[in-house]
């Protein structure tokens, strides 16, 4: 996840969970990616995204995580 590499010094752990919401049907955007990131000294952050493929879901969730980390780390640096 290149989107979050620049925040690696602030993270203690990242967990990625993939699931197929409708495994018995072919219904489009049914692949889900949940990502939980743990920041040093902060509560964990959880984001998720759905897509037609796992790649789309992973990229979407990673983008959301990057945006969240940008906000949190930015606030940490300003204090």
Confidence of residue 1 (pLDDT cuts 50, 70, 90): low
Q: Please tell me the distance from the alpha carbon of residue 15 to that of residue 63, in angstroms, as a whole number.
A: 15
* pTM: predicted TM-score of the whole model, two decimal places: 0.85
Task: Count Cβ atoms below 10 Å from residue 23 Cβ, excluding itself.
Answer: 9
CA distances from 15 to 27, 35, 62 (A): 26, 6, 12
Structural domains of the chain, ranges and CATH numbers in brackets: 2-73 (3.30.160.100)
Confidence band, pLDDT 50/70/90 cuts, at residue 6:
confident
For residue 26, pLDDT over 90 is answered with no
Give the mean model confidence (pLDDT) for residues 26-52.
Answer: 91
DSSP count for the chain of H helices, then E strands: 1, 3
pLDDT of residue 74: 86
Is pLDDT at 53 greater than 70 in this prediction? yes
């Amino acid at each position: 996840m290149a989107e979050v590499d620049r925040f690696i010094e602030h993270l203690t752990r990242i967990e990625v969970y993939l699931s197929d919401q409708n495994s018995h049907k072919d219904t489009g955007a049914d692949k889900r990616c949940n990502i939980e990131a743990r920041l040093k000294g902060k509560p964990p952050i959880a984001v998720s995204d759905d897509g037609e493929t796992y790649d789309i879901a992973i990229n979407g969730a990673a983008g959301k995580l990057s945006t969240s980390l940008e906000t949190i780390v930015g606030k940490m640096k300003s204090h």
